[in-house]
Amino acid sequence: MTADDVRESATALARQALGLPELAHARTVAAYVSVGSEPGTLALLDALRARGARVLLPALLPDNDLDWGAYGGESSLTRVRHGAKMALFEPSGPLLGPDAVTEADVVLLPGLAVDARGMRLGRGGGSYDRVLARLDRAGARPALVVLLYDTEVVARVPSEPHDRPVHAVVTPSGVRRFG
């Protein structure tokens, strides 16, 4: 994809996501800052903040778990390299602890693909598996939404017994909900 394609996709993705009733009424949204070839998220994060939502972003811990901090705009981010892993943009302010995600009304998840069952294929580090398990233990039931390109919605991805389906996938061309 060209730089223009990536920009246009990010704008379309934000427009589609902002149409979700779950995000329209969310007080707190746990999200992430896209990196590399992931669909762009900054326009969406800024729009959520403009609506008055509190946006939480992850900070990767040494054990691959996630801590959370508040997003205060692009200037509130810092680029952090985690060993040989790719650099991530993380909140530069105070961290709120791994349990802060349990306050979210919506959790926006990254992924490589989602299938027709709503099963998400992650990058394999287990960070978001830990987040989803933490939500379950806390009895929290936020809407789980994956942000992807259209070509990343596929017939089937591998899954394991601990995996749980998401509620929806948002792509630049639309929203698909799962039972």
> In the Cβ-directed half-sphere of 132, how many Cα atoms lie within 13 Å?
20
Please give the chain's pLDDT, 179 residues, in tens: 787 888 899 999 999 999 999 999 999 999 999 988 889 999 999 999 999 999 999 999 999 999 999 999 999 999 999 877 678 999 999 999 999 999 999 999 999 999 999 999 998 789 999 999 999 999 999 999 999 999 999 999 999 888 889 999 999 999 999 98
Which CATH number characterizes residue 89's domain?
3.40.50.10420
Please give the Cα distance from 123 to 139 (Å, whole number).
Answer: 25
Please give the Cα distance from 165 to 121 (Å, whole number).
Answer: 10
Residue 42 CB: number of other CB atoms within 10 A?
Answer: 16
pLDDT for the residue numbered 123: 83
Burial label, 2 (beta-carbon count in 10 A; 0-12, 13-18, 19+): exposed
pLDDT for the residue numbered 85: 63
Please give the Cα distance from 34 to 54 (Å, whole number).
Answer: 18
Q: In total, how many domains does the chain have? A: 1
In the chain, the DSSP E strands lie at 28-30, 54-60, 66-70, 77-81, 87-91, 106-109, 113-115, 120-121, 143-147, 153-154, 168-171, 174-177
Q: Which amino acid is at 131?
A: V
Residue 37: domain span: 3-177
Q: Which helix (H) or strand (E) holds 22?
A: helix 21-24
